[in-house]
Structure 1
Amino acid sequence: MTNERRELSTEQREELLGALEARFEKHMNRHPGLEWAKVQAKLEANPEKWWSLHEMETTGGEPDVVRYDEETDEYIFYDCSAESPKGRRSVCYDHKALESRKEHKPKNSAMNMVAAMGVELLTEEQYRELQKLGNFDMKTSSWVKTPSEIRQLGGAIFADYRYGNVFVYHNGADSYYGARGFRGSLRV
């Protein structure tokens, strides 16, 4: 991708900033004690992060601040859409899995999209952390970062929230479903 494509217009930046601020104010339970003015100042100081946040937003992720890391002086955004982001569903786990499918290939993989967006795939621990902030993926599921020993055997893991609990499952990494996507995180 070229740098030109990774830059947002002034209008796009203002629209994104407005959406992020409104979401931040609406869901204060996700980030108690944090102030929007400080988040905005950090965003303004890191213009290279805008494009990734825009990608999270336009694919339906509804990114929101979930934590401030004092050690690194970074705000952490997760996709906080109620269900797995619509613009990121029906994808297998990674490029190797995508290439291994002989027929009925999905259009992309979660790991390819994560790399293109400039974000990180949520880990199982981060997914569980997200679920403490609300009920997410009650009808869908999301791929989560798979340990290499599982991936080497052809598998991948995904998670969802059912019956008041987080469930983590396994599937072939080449599988894909209309109700399974992925959630990302971004440090700013």
Structure 2
Amino acid sequence: MKNEKRDLQPEQREEILRILKTRFEKNMGRHKGLEWAEVGTKLENNPEKLWSLYEMEKTGGEPDIIVQDKNTGEYIFYDCSAESPKGRRSFCYDLKALESRKEHKPQNNAIDMAADMGIELLTEEEYRELQKFGDFDTKTSSWVKTPDNIRKLGGAIFCDRRYDIVFVYHNGAESYYASRGSVAY
């Protein structure tokens, strides 16, 4: 999925801007006090960020603004798809985990796919913040950024929402499941 050219064709730019604007207007509770005109202008002037949002959308994601960083003014987009996007499922956690598998290797890993898209996995705290805006991952689960001390021991963490509670679990980083993917920003 590596794509060195991180720019969109004019019709792709128009398409993603239209999708993002519609989603923005439909979900105003996620970004109170923000105006689309400012967001749209900032995105139009930042083609690499727009490309990343397009890539998120292509994998079945639904990027939307959750917050504006008070210090930098940067808009922070989270993937707000109801379930872990289909195009980002069945991946182990990272390259080390992928290389450790002797057979039945998945196509990719969550960390590298996110990096290829110019995004990052959410942390556990960010994942919990996302859950304040809806019920996400009620049938799937998502890898989240794993602390180094856990990863050094061979593990990785993932989260989901069941019984109206956000759960954090662990697994071997080389594990992958059809219902586990990644949400990102």
Task: State the AA in 2 paired with 1:156.
Answer: A
Task: State the AA in 2 paired with 1:148.
Answer: D
Shift of the alpha carbon at 1:56? 0.5
CA RMSD of aligned residues (A): 0.9
Residue 39 of structure 1 is matched in structure 2 by 39
For residues 41-66 of structure 1, the C-alpha deviation after alignment (integer angstroms, 9 at most, x for no partner) is 11122122111111011001110000
Residue 103 of structure 1 is matched in structure 2 by 103
Report the Cα distance in structure 2 between the residues aligned to 1:178 and 1:140, rounded to whole angstroms: 9
Residue 64 of structure 2 is matched in structure 1 by 64
Report the Cα distance in structure 2 between the residues aligned to 1:48 and 1:79, rounded to whole angstroms: 17
For residues 58-113 of structure 1, the C-alpha deviation after alignment (integer angstroms, 9 at most, x for no partner) is 00111000001110110000000000011000000000000000111101000110
Shift of the alpha carbon at 1:3? 4.1
Task: State the AA in 1 paired with 2:65.
Answer: V
1:47-126 correspondence runs (5 A): 47-126=47-126
CA 1:99–1:87: 2 relative to 1, 3 Å? same
Report the Cα distance in structure 1 between the residues aligned to 2:26 and 2:150, rounded to whole angstroms: 38
Residue 158 of structure 2 is matched in structure 1 by 158
Residue 182 of structure 2 is matched in structure 1 by 182
Calculate the TM-score normalised by the size of structure 1: 0.96
Report the Cα distance in structure 2 between the residues aligned to 1:173 and 1:3, rounded to whole angstroms: 27
Partner SS for 1:145: coil
Partner SS for 2:175: coil
Residue 14 of structure 1 is matched in structure 2 by 14
Report the Cα distance in structure 1 between the residues aligned to 2:3 and 2:59, rounded to whole angstroms: 19
Shift of the alpha carbon at 1:8? 0.7
Structure 2 gaps, min length 5: none
Asked if residue 130 in structure 1 is aligned to residue 126 in structure 2, the reply is no
Residue 26 of structure 1 is matched in structure 2 by 26
Report the Cα distance in structure 2 between the residues aligned to 1:60 and 1:66, rounded to whole angstroms: 18
Task: State the AA in 2 paired with 1:30.
Answer: R
More strand, by proportion: 1
Report the Cα distance in structure 2 between the residues aligned to 1:125 and 1:133, rounded to whole angstroms: 14
Task: State the AA in 2 paired with 1:130.
Answer: L
Calculate the TM-score normalised by the size of structure 2: 0.97
The alignment-based identity, stated in percent, is 70
